[in-house]
Each structure stands twice: as C-alpha cells, then as structure tokens.
Structure 1
C-alpha cells in the first residue's frame, strides 16, 4: 500500500487498512474524538437541557439562548456551564471507542469499503449498529450529566449523583430512557452517517485525508440529523430528569409514549421542538469536531502503520 506521503503518480488510498492496523486503533481514535467533541461543546449542551426540561421551576426560566446565558451567568456564575462535564468525559471516551470501533467493523463486514462506490446502506447499517452498542454504555453517564445540568441541582460529583439516583429510583433510572434514546439515536446516527458519507464522497471523491472535507461534511450531517430527531430528544430529556420534576405526572412518566403524551398535553405540538436551536447549534460543530478529530487520529495511525 502507498504511504500517506504521496509520491508523484501515486494516490494514497485513505480508506484502505494497512496490514497491521487493527480495531483497537479505530477505537482509540474514536475515544479521542468523543472526548474532544463533548468537552468543547458542553456549555451549549447544558443550555439545551435547561431549555428542554418541562418543569415549572426550571423550564420557564429562559426565553431563549441569549437569555439563558445571561441568566445563568447572573444567578449561578460561569462555572455552572461546565457542571457535569466530568460525566461525559468519563463516559464519552469508552462509549465513542465502542461507537467507532463498531462502525468500522460493521462497515467492513457490510461491504462499505470494497471499492470507491457509494454505499449508503452499509453506512446506515454501521451507524445504527454503532449507536446501539455505544448507547448501552453511555446512557447512565448521560442520565448523570443531565441530573447535574438542571437548574437547582445539588449534585456536586458524578459519584454522589449516581449514588443519589440509585438510592431514590433504583438501577432502572439509568436505563429508563434507553429505548427512547435508541429510537432517537438510531435514525440520527443512520441519517448522519449516510449524509456524512454522501457529502464526503461528493466533496472528496478520491477519499484522501482532507480535514476541511471531514469538518464540513461532519457539521452538515450532524445539523440535518439533529433537526429531525429533536422531538425524541425532548422526550429523552423528560425521562432522564423526571426524578427532579415538581409535576407528579412527569415524575411518574414510564416510557416513550407516556412521556410524549405528557409533552403534548402540557405544551402542545410545539413542546416537541423545545431546545431545537441549541441542539442544532451544539450538534453541528460537535459532529464537525468529532469527525475531524476521528479522521485525524485515524490518519495518524494509518500513516504510522503504512510507513512501517
């Protein structure tokens, strides 16, 4: 195989796997991408959670993104924007390692790397498989993160928060939103991966390592997928923060359909669009960062093994 340092007349086959390049390196690249993505965009994610919560004491505090930022700064201080970030750092590394490891493995098995053609089915299948595996690991950390993000949360550390949730609601509290999460993330990830592969193929038909392509394709794919899955994200947030709600109906929400009915009854159809702007605003750069970081790490490993 040609080295990434191309010589005249040769093309570096970026998608091909060097002989000694293994699944572990894809997983390491994925862990790097996940931590980079979630750490950089965490404050916007906190704003999204605050604006999505259906709770008279917290959900009506903010009228928009600008108001949310100024209110948090005035009442709670800037450090609040990073409250709970340790949970995603601890969870995102392993979860994204599983995410991208599964993605690359299933993509290879599904024939997504056999030639230079476009393989949307393989991309969708690998994306769906990746999110099923990674969400099983990440869901508890996501619950802890959102419990720490809400207005008035008394949780100081992820360990203390996890113990508190477990004592009050049992182990099921960490997975009550998992079916809803999959209902959201499977179409989100499948859509994102197909869009990413399609945009990348259009912008970079030779499949060479190109940070600009990876950044733009990742951002556009993420924004599109985030917009169409916002209603399910609102339902997920309700389920993951139900233990902090003042409303008895919300506290007793059992699953996807019950939570959706509560949202419809209390806020109408517009309730399913709560937090759409910060979700898109956070997802677009976060997926751009994620894909750029992942492809950068992957290119580094491939260069090392390609040169060996």
Structure 2
C-alpha cells in the first residue's frame, strides 16, 4: 500500500506540466470571476477623467456605469486577461514551486516566511514580464470613452501610435508594486495556511480563508503603487499634457500628490481590496485543488507501477520427482 503523500509539494516525479496547468487554471479563475471590481478600480484611479466618469464610491460607480453604459461594459477588456492570465500564471506558480523548493520552503514544519516570500518575488518577476502588455491593453479598454473593442485592435493602435515601449512603460512600477504584493501575499498565505491547518492535509476552507486574508492585506499595502501604475498605463488616452508626458514612477507620484495630496494614493483602495480578497481566495483554492488532484493521480500511477506481480504457485507433482523416483504428492494431499 502506497504511503499517503503530502499534496502541498507535488511528487518529485510529477511533470512541470502539472504545475503549469494548475497555475493557468487558477489564474484564469482569479481574474475573470472578480473582473467587474477591477474595472471599477481602474475607473476610480484614472486622474482628470470626464465629468461622466467621476465616482464617489463603489455603489455609485456601479450604478452610473451600468445605467449609462450598460452592464456589459464592466467586462470590457476581460479577453485580454483571459489570453494573458493563463500562460503568465502557469509561469508564476511553476516558478514559485521551483524556487520555494530551492530556498528550503518545503523543509520541516516551520513557517519559512523568508523562503516563501523570496519565491513569490521570483515568480512575480517572471510572470509580470509576460503579463504586463496584456494588463496595459486591459486598462486601455477599461477607461471611460475607450474606442477599443478588441484586444487585437487595441494592441495594434498602441504599437502604431506609441511604439513597443507603451507595453512596458509601467513594468518597473509594476514590479515595484507586485514584488512586495506577492511577497506579502505568499508569506501571509503560507503563514495562515499552516496556522489554520497544521496537519497539512487538503482543506478547501483553509485555502479560502488564508487566500482571502493574504489578498486583502497585500492589496491594501500596495495600493499607492497601483494608482501610479494605472496613471502610467492609461497616459496615452489622457487629455492632460502633463500626464501624457509622465515617464516613470517619480513623475506619477509627483502628479498624484500635487493634485490629490496623500488621499490620491489610496484612490480605488475599496474595490481593489474587494477584488483581491475573493479573487486571491479563488486563485489559491483552485490551484491547491488541481495540485491535489494531479498529485493524487501521479501518486496512484506510481503505486500501480511499483505493485509486485502475483506469485505463481507451482505444484511439485508436475515439477520435481521424489527421492524414490516417483512423482511427489500434490500439496495438501
């Protein structure tokens, strides 16, 4: 009988494909289910919007957008997320698993906050390089008055009018936001997961609670950087000349502070937290589920391959003569 495996670390013989597939499915689930809150967050963070796009809060934004533009508007740009989230999250989780193992995050029963935090940072650097262009396209499609209705048309317009640099103008800022975000998220998630479930057995409720707490905490502390990222990624559609000329994080911070003071750095914090709390819970729960299923299937395959063949019993009466030369009696007679 095969020993019960620890699903938190996939079997050593499991393929990279298992980690990639689990991560891709988790990423798509995370970004699509809570997409309307991300849409509202972007609208609230854009500086100098038109009068029709000034919102006093989440409920006001929801009412105004659905009332004047239709409910379908809140899903504009989701196709960019679906296209980018699959491969970027596959790379994200595969890098995390490999780095966590390399940094000693799977050794013993301790919390290993530094190891998991460092693994989360490495995963972010790799995945953001792939996801950043899709995130730029998504936010260009989300802003009020956007004429883009497809990922392809938006990408071609950006490339033609602003060049390839438009897809990566926010990448340094994105890394400055997502590296601490993911470090906080991974470390917080692993901490709560081990506190709430010391046995380490698969428990969906643990992943939901731990993921929600990790996502909300990480989202709240990194909101100022997210506001700056939104300014840089939507600058091409701004009518304000100063915003259009912004070239990096320093310019973005200066503009935000001069126009809105310290309050400007927490614009959209409500929908950002409300978006990340359930989406991170969904992401981790989906990832852990598929990791558990794939790990169980791999363990079963290994157990079946190692199962010994049945022993054949040979009757002595037909295989060996007795000492007297007569056939030996059959067993049991």
TM-score (norm 2): 0.88
Q: What's the offset of the Cα at 1:12?
A: 4.2
State the partner residue of 2:269. Answer: 276
Listed one character per residue, the Cα deviations across residues 205-229 of structure 1 (whole Å, up to 9, x for unaligned) are 1111111001100000010000000
State the partner residue of 1:159. Answer: 152
The answer to whether the aligner puts 1:149 opposite 2:177 as a matched pair is: no
Q: What's the offset of the Cα at 1:20?
A: 2.7
The answer to whether the aligner puts 1:20 opposite 2:13 as a matched pair is: yes
State the partner residue of 2:184. Answer: 191
Q: Give the SS at the match of 1:268.
A: helix
State the partner residue of 1:46. Answer: 39
Q: Is the 8 A contact 1:51 1:59 kept in 2?
A: no
The answer to whether the aligner puts 1:233 opposite 2:226 as a matched pair is: yes
| Mapped partners of 2:120, 2:256: distance in 1 | 29
The answer to whether the aligner puts 1:178 opposite 2:171 as a matched pair is: yes
Q: Is the 8 A contact 2:23 2:93 kept in 1?
A: yes
Listed as ranges, the matches of 1:76-87 within 5 Å are 76-87=69-80
Q: Which of the two has higher C-alpha Rg?
A: 2
| Mapped partners of 1:158, 1:146: distance in 2 | 11
Pick aligned residue for 1:218 from 170, 191, 211? 211
The structure with higher relative contact order (CA 8 Å, sep 6+) is 1
Q: What's the offset of the Cα at 1:125?
A: 0.7
TM-score (norm 1): 0.95
| Mapped partners of 2:162, 2:179: distance in 1 | 27
Q: Which runs of 4+ in 1 moved over 4 A?
A: none
CA 1:269–1:16: 2 relative to 1, 3 Å: closer
| Mapped partners of 1:2, 1:290: distance in 2 | 30
State the partner residue of 2:103. Answer: 110
Q: Give the SS at the match of 2:222.
A: helix
Q: Is the 8 A contact 1:58 1:151 kept in 2?
A: no
Q: Is the 8 A contact 1:218 1:292 kept in 2?
A: yes
Q: What's the offset of the Cα at 1:115?
A: 1.8
Q: Give the SS at the match of 2:85.
A: helix
